[in-house]
Chain A
């Protein structure tokens, strides 16, 4: 990581607010006096509904649900594996999420995924669009952008395209690759957890969210620890939280 890039890591808002007469700048330190809270689903209105998680009875009251529809596994030539029958919910804004382990898709795979989108739409859901959940290496964001540009071309224009993101992308991603992503996807949902737990040190990662240059949501894990870093909730690009239900 180039030394020059260090300057960009601190959110501009925090930077400007923290300039002092002396040359001492304390970077990436949360100034919030409040304690960390536990994430309770009832305090939020957007959720990830994953395979193997029984939908809670109240979920229909949610504003937005990202439901995992299936997977593309890493074995070469593997087919789309469906993990959910077609939902039928009205009222809630529904995203069709596909978990992806490889980007070398053949035509059959694109057809299977896009047909799934069609089925969900035809079943009367208020479908927002397609979300791809792929953990690209921070150094591989350019290749990922390539894949997404192609996918965007295949996806009918009435459906939005969303991706999940890793915190490390904003901290360490090449600015050009991030700009390219911003031109292709409609939003990115940045994940702050691994398994059941919030990733420690999330505050310092999130300080670099400005570098994304696109609208983003923050994904929290149900029951995880969380304290909003300073400036996050007033960032115009911040579009709200999504809670991963366990």
Chain B
């Protein structure tokens, strides 16, 4: 069996385009940190061009600069999907950016079941090449009809090469005319190419480039180039299928490049001119030649019509080939691509399993790049300001580099980023004018993802200056639902929650979320009398769909208010309705039976995770300041401890509390009832006490182990 490597998708082999967890457990999905001005990569980016964003998002913003200057994009926010449902309109990933600016029309994704695509391999032209070959035969004036039929049929003999066979096909005999022989030789060359016998193919195509048959000559000339490029990659594939672009035979690749130029010179309007032009990029990539490649890509980014559906593919090609291929050298030589890579180099940390950790960017190095940006002073100024902000943390310098321009009627992506970064520098300096600055910028922030970013900045400012009421005031400029709901959920006090639960102007999600959080916090903070009163606000027939605390990330944004009125009550330990339990606790907050039933409510209706996760929110983001709803949640562990400490608890109640305390750690020692664990010795002590003191109770009989 001959040595062979079947070339897999070129783009896919340039690894590390989207840094993600590479481990065998496929975690996907993306939750943003709700703050702007982050200096590390996150899967969720924003309208602030910078190190947080995916390089493709930054490229997309930069290339939309001209388009945006010309007037509105005509685009609109995409529908929520599971990957980006908790982004609001503040954050944007590469996927949601494509869905926004280059949406695929519906119905385009239906797969043609009959087509075998061989995408990304040499054989991607197996089918199209057959059509072209047959069309050339049909229009040739020199081929005899008998030969034409034989040759047309013989084209099918190429397919086994694409499926791993290297057997020599049974070529037709009886093709004797000169023209016919040339066409037949062409088939042999193509078969050799698909079978990765590049040396054999090269010899055939070289000879046929002189053919008197115009189609054969031109196609062979083109194929010489294609063949040379493919051949140059052979040493780059290791025995495990690992691709190392640094091991490409660069002489072969350069020969391919020369052949492409030769083809284009001989056939400037040729059949394969567009393909050959594109392949010039491939040749440069294979040669590891970054400077000329970056110049070509910059030109393409600058020229692309904004709505063209080819743009995402171009951006991904630049990502994979220019930025994230090992072994490229020479550096980037053109402004848009250099700027994009500069932003990536400003990242203060890289994600955990990222293969690429770009060299950090110093101010001196950025200064030396000035000639590349000679025609783009705004971009260059923004780069310097970004470096000052993210790397040097020199916020005064940011203000020097980015003058106030917050009163424009509208902003291109770059102009908006400049003002946003200026505002973030003001915030870092605790400038008293920051809030006013945001309110001015909000007026002109009309582009997609712009206004919500400003609202986030303003909301965080008001949150930190104790002005959360302004967010919910009648004329509040903060209308972005995610921002409002997040503040209610994380830090709002009972009065604000109660008000928003029935506010006329509020959306359904906001009203329902406010009521849910109010009820949950009243219950968990021991405000039982308030709970009973506010429970009346839950509509009869309220549903139980949705995730507790997860309504922002839920595509349907459902709030399970029905849990409070018709939650599960379980069979093994009978409890009254929650309202009754709450009434009892309002009278006697240490009533053991009611405490157990409250714990049952939490346990059976999925509140454990939410109870445990409270208070774990990172401080430097929206809703990260101390909650205005005072008091800590009493978890199930606290409730069981309360029962065990109670002098009035019955034997049954104590036994059940002991049983449940141990079961918090079932089945694997992970605690469902509380954020912190008690030592194993305590769990053992509960177990022993249950068995010793209540040996006939059904709970002692049921409980076989502790964990």
Interface residues of A (CB under 8 A from B): 1, 3, 6-7, 9-10, 23-28, 48-55, 59-60, 65, 67, 70, 74-77, 79, 81-89, 99-101, 106-109, 111-112, 115, 118-119, 122-124, 133-135, 164, 166, 171-172, 191, 193-196, 201, 204-205, 208, 219, 221, 244
Contacts and interface: CB of A to CB of B under 8 A. Distances in A.
Interface of B: 1, 3-9, 12-13, 15-16, 21-28, 83, 95, 109-113, 115-117, 119-120, 163-165, 237-243, 352-353, 355, 572, 666-670, 684, 687-688, 691, 702, 704-707
Contacts of A52: 15-16, 22, 355
Nearest to A99: B26
A205 B706 CA distance: 14
Contact of A204 (B6, B165, B669): B669
A126 to B, nearest CB: 13
B12 A83 contact: yes
Contact of A108 (B16, B27, B111): B111
Given A52-B15, A87-B240, A82 B113 contact: no
Nearest to B354: A52
Given A52-B355, A83-B12, A87-B239, A9 B23 contact: no
A233 B404 CA distance: 69
A24 B688 contact: yes
B240 A194 contact: no
B5 A194 contact: no
Given A89-B239, A135-B25, A135-B26, A123 B16 contact: no
Contacts of B237: 85
Contacts of B21: 195
A163 B353 CA distance: 24
Nearest to A133: B24
Given A55-B242, A79-B119, A107 B22 contact: no
Contacts of B8: 70, 82-86
A244 B352 CA distance: 16
A107 B111 CA distance: 9
Given A6-B705, A52-B15, A196 B353 contact: yes
B240 A82 contact: no
14 contacts: A10-B705, A25-B705, A26-B684, A27-B704, A28-B705, A51-B15, A51-B22, A55-B238, A55-B242, A83-B12, A108-B115, A123-B4, A133-B26, A193-B25
A172 B667 CA distance: 8
Given A48-B24, A88-B3, A23 B702 contact: no
Contact of A115 (B163, B242, B572): B163
Contacts of B113: 106-108
Given A6-B667, A27-B705, 11 more contacts: A49-B240, A83-B15, A84-B8, A111-B116, A112-B117, A119-B164, A122-B164, A135-B25, A135-B27, A193-B23, A196-B23
A244 B24 contact: yes
Given A89-B240, A118-B164, A135-B26, A81 B668 contact: no
B689 to A, nearest CB: 12
Contacts of A59: 240
Contacts of A27: 704-707
B621 to A, nearest CB: 23
Given A77-B111, A83-B15, A205-B668, A88 B9 contact: no
Contacts of A67: 240-241
A31 B633 CA distance: 37
A191 B25 contact: yes
A115 B241 CA distance: 16
**Residue from A23, A49, A99, A205 having most chain B Cβ neighbours under 10 A:** A23
B127 to A, nearest CB: 14
| 3 closest residue pairs by CB, A with B | A27-B705, A122-B164, A77-B109
A141 B95 CA distance: 29
Contacts of B667: 1, 6, 9, 171-172, 204, 208
B704 A7 contact: yes
Nearest to A10: B705
Contacts of B7: 85
A6 B23 contact: no
A101 B26 contact: yes
A118 B15 CA distance: 24
Contacts of B115: 108
A204 B706 CA distance: 12
A87 B241 contact: yes
**Residue from A52, A101, A109, A221 having most chain B Cβ neighbours under 10 A:** A52
B23 A244 contact: yes
A219 to B, nearest CB: 7
Contacts of A25: 704-705
A70 B110 CA distance: 21
B24 A196 contact: no
